Amino acid sequence: MGATIRAAIESDLEAITGIYRDAVLHGTASYELEPPDLAEMRKRFETIAGSFYPYIVAEEAERVLGYAYAAPFRTRPAYRFIVEDSIYIAPEAKGRGLGRTLLTQLVAESTRRGFRQMIAVIGDGSAESPSVILHEKLGFTRAGSLKGSGFKHGRWLDTVFMQLAMNGGAGMPPDPDSMPERQFRGQVR
C-alpha cells in the first residue's frame, strides 16, 4: 500500500522536526547548520499553514515519511503570486518516489489557490542533485544559480533556482478571485 498525501496537522510536527533535523545535520538541501527544535518548527508551521499556504505530509501506516510546503518566495506584496517549495523525506523513505508524489500534490494545491509561479531554491544544485532531477521531471526550468553561496560539511555549495509557471504564469493578468489577491485585499484571514 502506498503513502497517503494529506494536509499536515500539529500532531505531525514531531515527525516533521525529526525529518528536518536529519536534513540539516546530514544534507545540503537546507543551509541551516543547527536543527531547529519542536517549538521553532511549530512557529514555522503556524506561519505557513495559518496563512493559507499548502503544507502537506506523506503518511504510511500512521507514520509521516515526508513533508512539503509552499511558502512566500519573498514578503514584498508584488511577489504575492510566487511561492517557494520545500520538500523533505525521511532517510529510510528516500528513493521510493515520495518526493515526486509530494511535489506533484504541492503544485496542484498551489495552482488551485491561484499562484502563478513556483520557485525551487536548491542547495547543492549540481546537475546530479536528486532535487534538481525531480524538479526537471515535473517541468521546472533552471532560472539561475549562485556559485559558492553556502559553505556546509566542509565544502562550498552552489544554489540553483528553478521555476514552474502555473495558471498561465506571467502570460495573463492576475485572477482577482485567487487566494493571493484576496489575501492582499484583506478578504482572506
- pLDDT tens-digit readout, 91-136: 999 999 999 999 999 999 999 999 999 999 999 888 889 999 999 9
Cα–Cα distance measured from residue 119 to residue 72, given in angstroms and rounded to the nearest whole number = 10
Q: Which of 117, 108, 80, 134 is nearest to 7 (CA)?
A: 108
Cα–Cα distance measured from residue 32 to residue 27, given in angstroms and rounded to the nearest whole number = 10
- pLDDT tens-digit readout, 127-180: 889 999 999 999 999 999 999 999 999 999 999 999 999 999 999 999 999 999
Q: Rounding to the nearest 10 degrees, give the CA dihedral for residues 177, 114, 117, 81.
A: 40
